[in-house]
A and B are shown apart, each in its own frame.
Chain A
Amino acid sequence: MTALVLDTITKIFPSAEGPVKVLDGVSLQIAPGSAHALTGDSGSGKSTLLHIAAGLEPAQSGRVLVAGTELSAQDDAGRAALRRGRLGLIFQQFNLIPSLSVAANLAFQARLSGCHDAAFTDHLADRLGIAELRTRYPEQLSGGQQQRVAIGRCLAARPALVLADEPTGNLDEGTGDRVLDLMLDLTAEAGTALLLVTHSPRLAARCDHRHHLRAGRLEGGA
């Protein structure tokens, strides 16, 4: 089953100069286990497309299917269930829960969706190199460490599809590369599909498929 289907998505934002068509009939399919990069200039609508794919924001027209389930047919609780069970979200701001320890953060989404596997989570922590940090709190971690926790939290829930929005945007180049390597390795190992939004062609080049968003339309797709 296709991990993600975006079918002629249109999104229009109101602005002072009138409505702006940010997404103009965008279609995209992501097969299980494949890694896709989405590039584009600032304000080109990359993040909006990602939010629409995650059901965080509705589109004006078009269909979104996550693991075969159409998002627009779901209410808030249904979309939340899909995010819980099928999707993994990784943001530029790491969005850890500041009042929970690293260990609690790591296990959080898996426990939320009821598929917590302690051994797997430990394994991920080892792979991400954060096993030593379990008792710390987010504010005591560096940015790279925080993003590794966010990736671990996402993968521990065994999602079918990971949606990552500039995951290394807040990190220096070296740290960013190391984190991205880890993320690509781990998604590949788990057979998880990946849609990576980035403005860096260098990072995009490391994915199987690349798409460029310009004037609301997708280019490329190789």
Chain B
Amino acid sequence: MTRIALTALLSHWARNWLQLAMLLAGLALATALWSGVQALNSEARSAYATAEALLAEGSAERLDHPSGQILQERYITLRRAGWQVSPVVEGRYTLGNARVTLVGIEPLTAPQGAGPALAAQDLNAFFAGRAFAHPQTIAEIGAHDLDLHPSDAVPVGTVLLDIGRAQALLDTEALSYLQLLQTQPAGLRPLDTLAPDLRRVPAGEGAELGGLTESFHLNLTAFGLLAFAVGLFIVHSTVGLAFEQRRAMFRTLRALGLPLRHLTACLAAEMLVFALIAGVVGLVLGHLLAAFLMPDVALTLRGLYGAPVPGGLHFNPVWAASGLAMTLAGAALAGGQALWRLWHLPILAPAQPRAWAHASGRGMRLQGAFALALGALAVALALGGDGLLTGFGLLAAALLAAALAVPLVLAGLLRLAQRTARGPVAEWFWADSRQNMPRLSLALMALMLALAANIGVGTMVASFRATFIDWLDLRLAAELNVMPASAEEAAALHPFLSDRADAVLPMMRVDATLASQPGQIYAMKDHASFRDNWPLIDPVPDVWDRLAAGEGVLVNEQLYRRAGLQSGADRLDLPGVGALPVLGAYADYGNPLAQAVLTLPQFQAAFPDAPVRQFAIRTSDAPGLTASLQEEFGLSSAQITDQAQARALSMRIFERTFVITRALNVLTLSVAALALFAALVTLAGMRLAQLAPLWALGLTARRLAGLELARALVLGALTMVLALPVGLMLAQVLLSVINVQAFGWRLPLQVFPGDWARLALWAMLAVLAAASLPALQLARQGPADLLRVFSRDR
């Protein structure tokens, strides 16, 4: 009996295959976008875990020195006092075509971790110089003269090798820090007395990639959810329409003796099978999508957070299972209403298809009330809330409120148009549009959401880009940047450069914990390059003079906002220096770390051992100076960067940052167009009965098709207009709430009407594409097809 009933139910899809395709495509696309984003997230997170496991950073405390260096004798002293510590040397190094982080370990004393395990594969070779790197890093390096072996256990951008080799390559005899093993012998002299100047860094600190990047992943997840929601709109509307179309069949089946329970179970089983098929297809698509986007995501994470993420993607069964579960949950959500209605449907209910969704005034009022309540919630969150989750809550509430309001506002506008219409065809056009609104409202809501997201994210990115370019041009005032390879080279370069350049600005820094955040203290030489080019946020009066006099510090915007500092009022505790007043904040886009700037003499007094990492050089003859540096000091080209190179590099990282955002944006818009297409296609069958009388009254099928097309365009255009304010609101929230929480900087909102026009064009093209197939079918209807409407009893 079940089999026979299923044959009948499924025969509907055989005759309406396009509807089935829409249902499956909607569900598959929703799954693909959601699971694709999740795959990116989980791949990146597992890369962080690899990075932390390399030096067992998760479990090992560290000892470090404010200067960033520890003399090797200190290591021997501590070992000979019984302390179980292991030395590590870390440094940036140009190897082949890539800048890499060299990590030198001592495998005999290192805590258990991937590093020692790798080294132990052949200790002899490791001592003799064997090094390990991620296959991707090896590919980036290209030609090199190391005994370099591939290993997935090493984070991207890192080369692991023996400590002695690392010291030789980095031209140092010092250590970067000591790892403190978990188990220490009893009764040792305390470190406080043995090495009072060494700082004990708790396990896990300095390995906060997870925390730093969490906001980025939250962003992705939110986007994935939005795409999933838009996909569910398609599923909901196709399931709903299929339900309406099969009402007569349900009645017949029950009259012929199919129990209600069987019927409901059959429909649920049908939904389950569709969900499984679509889910599997969606997972495959999601994996492909993630694999396609992974290189950009990896570059973003590396550029923005320094997080070592490889560009490859692995299959993860847990990911697949959770993705499929999400599909099933989505299908249950989208199809649940239909099943519920079936269960409560009287057996003799009218078999005529009724308008899907709320056609009645009561339904509309309820939807309006919902929209208002959500709007109020959004306002409340905007006024009272704080934090990233609140920000996303605000976005969700505001978007949903706007989406729910779409059919109401559109209905109002259509009523207005109907009142002003002249001529019978125009009147019919508006009235008919109003009557069909409920069937299209879900698709239009999805379209509005996608357009608003597009406008919002696009405006955010463009605003950021404009601000970033201005800032970058000011920041990169120096014509040349020179990186000395060692302290000796720095000492030799300084007088040489001072003689030839207009100004030499040495760049020095030490790592420090600022307001309990990982950060760095920088030295700044008082110079017009900074005074003229650094726009400051909330500066105190005479800020540059007071900074030069050593009366305080500048902090970057991230630290300023995260720690809630107030310039002129708050002091910042600088380890090794003391507490100094905050004089102002400066924009520091793209940096995950807290930063404070001291004047050069004050810095050198506090940290006499800190090496010069870089010289920023003002000169009118950059090429000449570059040539003489290469000639006289043998500096490699990797050690000298000119302004244009630096700018190009920064812009490249920036552009990469938003590639994925843009890609998801385009995909969401495509899904929304598909939703509209699905709604219009399923509607087309029913429309024939409504249009036939007009044909009979003298309108040609071609004209009717044209009107259908016009109706879709009008509704699409109105939706685009509605999406504009919603999108700007979204951009505002992204710039002033989400960005501040996620990255630590606030940006001014700038509007780009040209972008809107382009988007509107794309949206209209999408609507046109969605509406043209049904319209084409209509235009091709012969008299016989239309006549049958009259001969057939309804």
Which residues on A are within 8 Å of B, measured CB to CB? 51, 54, 56-57, 76-77, 80-85, 87, 89, 91, 93, 95-100, 104, 108-109, 111-114, 137, 139, 143, 153, 170
Contacts and interface: CB of A to CB of B under 8 A. Distances in A.
Nearest to B8: A97
Given A139-B792, A170-B793, A80 B258 contact: yes
B4 A111 contact: yes
Contact of A95 (B5, B248, B261, B262): B248
Nearest to A84: B257
Given A85-B257, A97-B252, A57 B15 contact: no
A137 B14 CA distance: 13
Nearest to B794: A93
Interface in B1-57: 1, 4-5, 7-8, 11-12, 14-16
Chain B interface, >50% SS class: helix
Contacts of A77: 259-262
Interface in B249-273: 249, 251-262
B792 to A, nearest CB: 7
Given A76-B261, A112-B258, A139-B792, A99 B12 contact: yes
A98 to B, nearest CB: 7
B618 to A, nearest CB: 80
A121 to B, nearest CB: 14
A97 B256 CA distance: 11
Nearest to B16: A99
5 contacts: A87-B257, A95-B351, A97-B252, A109-B257, A170-B793
A155 to B, nearest CB: 13
Top 8 nearest A-B pairs (CB, nearest first) are A84-B257, A83-B257, A99-B11, A80-B259, A77-B259, A99-B15, A95-B252, A99-B12
B168 interface: no
Interface residues of B, number: 30
Given A83-B255, A109-B256, 14 more contacts: A80-B260, A89-B255, A93-B793, A97-B8, A98-B249, A99-B12, A99-B15, A104-B11, A112-B5, A112-B256, A113-B1, A139-B788, A143-B793, A170-B793
A95 B255 contact: yes
A80 B257 contact: yes
B635 interface: no
A77 B262 CA distance: 9
Given A98-B15, A112-B4, A81 B257 contact: yes
Given A112-B1, A143-B793, A93 B257 contact: no
A56 B347 contact: yes
Which of B249, B256, B348 is packed against the most chain A CB atoms within 10 Å? B256
A76 B261 CA distance: 9
Contacts of B792: 139
Contacts of B347: 56-57
Contact of B8 (A57, A83, A100, A143): A100
Given A95-B248, A95-B251, A170-B793, A76 B260 contact: yes
A91 B261 CA distance: 24
Nearest to A112: B4
Interface string B493-512: 00000000000000000000
Nearest to A82: B257
Contact of A113 (B11, B257, B262): B257
A84 B255 contact: no
A143 B792 CA distance: 8
Which of B16, B257, B258, B262 is packed against the most chain A CB atoms within 10 Å? B257
B8 A99 contact: yes
Contacts of B788: 139
Contacts of B12: 99
Nearest to A110: B4
Contacts of B4: 108, 111-112
Interface in B227-267: 248-249, 251-262
B793 A80 contact: no
A75 to B, nearest CB: 9
B11 A54 contact: no
Nearest to B788: A139
B207 to A, nearest CB: 61
Which of B12, B14, B252, B351 is packed against the most chain A CB atoms within 10 Å? B252
Interface in B344-364: 347-348, 351
Contacts of A114: 1
